Amino acid sequence: MLLFILALGFLAVLSASLFLWGYHEGKSAGIRQYRKECSECALSHGRQQHD
Enumerate the domain spans of the chain: 1-51
More reliable by pLDDT, 1 or 38: 1
Query: What is the band of 16 on the pLDDT scale with cuts at 50, 70, 90?
Result: very high
**What is d(CA 23, CA 15) in angstroms, rounded to the nearest whole number?**
12
pLDDT exceeds cutoff 70 at 48: no
Is the full-model pTM beyond 0.75?
Answer: no
The number of C-alpha atoms within 13 Å of 19 and in the hemisphere containing its C-beta is 6
Q: What was the pLDDT predicted at 47?
A: 59
Q: Is 51 helix (H, G, I), strand (E, B) or coil?
A: coil
C-alpha span between 13 and 7 (Å, rounded): 10
Which amino acid does the sequence have at 51? D
**For residue 17, what pLDDT is reported?**
94
Q: Using CA atoms, how far apart are residues 29 and 35, in angstroms rounded to an integer?
A: 10
